Amino acid sequence: MNFSETLHKNPVFDTIARQADALGLRAYVIGGFVRDLVLERPSKDIDVVCIGSGITLAEAVGKALQTNVSVFPNFGTAMLRAGQGADEWEVEFVGARKESYRSESRKPIVEDGTLEDDQNRRDFTINAMGISLAVTDFGELLDPFDGLKDIKRKLIRTPLEPGITFSDDPLRMMRAIRFAAQLGFDIEPDTFEAIVQMNERITIVSRERVTDELNKIILSPTPSYGFKLLYHAGLLERIFPELIALKGVETIEGKGHKDNFYHTLQVLDNVANRAKSTHEVVAPENELWLRWAALLHDIAKPATKRFDPKVGWTFHGHEDMGARWVPGIFRTMKLPLNEHMRFVQKLVRLHLRPIALTKEQITDSALRRLLFEAGDDLEGLMALCRADITSKNYEKVQKHLRNFDRVERKLHDLEERDKLRSFQPVITGELIMETFALPPSKEVGELKTVLREAILDGLIPNSFDTAYPFLLEEGRKRGLTPITVKNG
């Protein structure tokens, strides 16, 4: 197979070919770009391997393209960017090499090598294909391990004996599952069996690298597929035991509960494939974290599970306990302990609230409190709650979704009227202290709480002209005399 016509459409490849020829080097584009070219998937990352110095070739290409080159001499690599905007490409250059590993480390011993050596060290056959950038055979596919055939068969397979591939770099076990989840491929039986047999090797890999692969699985089109592979391979128990604890069904007196592991995976898939309605627009930077919220929303159910002979199984308080667990899980996973963690924590804590509103007479007070607590994360919360409706009974699911539509309409109407999404009481603690000459104290906090509750209950609007007289009256009830009185 020849890709010369396709490569000629991007001038960077012709430039690489000319500069390699001038330097007397053989160069090849290899790896994920070639795979994605065959799959007709968009890709902006180009890996170029040359027989000789990749840095020398990169510098020559950079000079020809009049672009800066970043050189990493410790790794023998260099990188440049070509094109602009949507047509910008990131090109990395490296000399062909061979690698060997010690059993206790993922850090390889690297030596110069041939193209065959370089292809042998690749993780999977679909990533070991190369395309020549030599002037003489420009665009010719080099596929020593039948990666093209594996793409057609939708199969993940290692180029060498899988035990060697995974022993060399145990992270490849996670990558096998990640590619299967992203591409919808199967893992070849011998390759999967090697993962099962060697899963304990994942413990020598840094948590950051494991979590990076896990995040890519979470962001795949059907993430449950990846998690089921992780579970059956024995990897999930080693990297995320809290999730394994959700698995299983217990029955007492003929009463059982749903398998919360598979329920969680269904919720995760529902979030991944949710309808993009106007009420569920979630910022792209929150997509990963919305999926993490789906993964963790019931994480504390095993710890809160109780059997009541009258009502069956209960999980009272699992949302609050789960929210308290979120920071610890993020810390263990080396995930950011910032606004993303707080977003997940908030959604885990509140995920039952909208569901409760669909089952009772909805009061404006209850809606105000939900708007106040959810704030700018309301869309994410509602997307999670819709995804949390899992049942084999189609009519039951549709009934719940219609109830959510009703709640969302009321929330929208109330938000338009009261502007509670970014709710901040107009009466601050500083103003309370100034008005009554109070130091920071419990009494100041109590007055702030009374004001907030009055606004959320709809007793007064959140405006200075009504809230300040209300504060003065509440102060008088407590025997406080205003020292200064403000005008709106």
- What's the pLDDT score for residue 288? 96
**Tens-digit pLDDT string for the chain (488 aa):** 789 999 988 889 999 999 999 999 999 999 999 999 999 998 889 999 998 889 999 999 999 999 999 999 888 899 999 887 778 889 999 998 765 555 555 555 555 667 888 888 889 999 999 999 998 899 999 999 999 999 999 999 999 999 999 998 999 999 999 999 999 999 999 999 999 999 999 999 999 999 999 999 999 999 999 999 999 999 999 999 999 999 988 888 888 788 999 999 999 999 999 854 444 567 778 899 999 999 999 999 999 999 988 888 889 999 999 999 999 999 999 999 999 999 999 999 999 988 777 766 777 778 888 887 888 888 899 899 989 988 777 787 788 788 888 888 887 777 776 665 555 667 888 889 999 999 999 999 989 888 888 888 888 887 788 888 998 998 999 999 888 777 75
Cα–Cα dist 136/17, whole Å:
10
Q: How many CA atoms lie within 13 A of 350 on its CB side?
A: 25
User: Which residues pair with residue 78 across a beta bridge?
Assistant: 71, 93
Cα–Cα dist 304/310, whole Å:
17
At CB < 8 A and 24+ separation, what contacts does 137-141 make?
Answer: 138/4, 138/7, 138/17, 139/2, 139/3, 139/4, 139/5, 139/6, 139/7, 139/8, 140/2, 140/4, 141/1, 141/2, 141/3, 141/34
What's the pLDDT tens digit per position in 109-125?
Answer: 555 667 888 888 889 99
Domain 4-147 has CATH 3.30.460.10: yes
Report whether 280 contacts 274 (CB < 8 A): yes
How far out from the chain centre does Cα 483 lie? Answer: 53
Cα–Cα dist 93/76, whole Å:
9
At CB < 8 A and 24+ separation, what contacts does 394-402 make?
Answer: 400/358
CA distances from 289 to 271, 278, 286, 329, 418 (A): 11, 19, 5, 13, 28
Q: How many CA atoms lie within 13 A of 398 on its CB side?
A: 3
Q: Which CATH class is domain 163-239?
A: mainly alpha
Q: How many CA atoms lie within 13 A of 29 on its CB side?
A: 31
- What's the pLDDT score for residue 277? 46
Domain map (residue ranges) of the chain: 4-147, 163-239, 270-418, 429-477
Same topology, domains 4-147 and 163-239? Answer is no
User: Which residues pair with residue 91 across a beta bridge?
Assistant: 46, 80
- What's the pLDDT score for residue 279? 47
Cα–Cα dist 303/264, whole Å:
16
- What's the pLDDT score for residue 422? 53
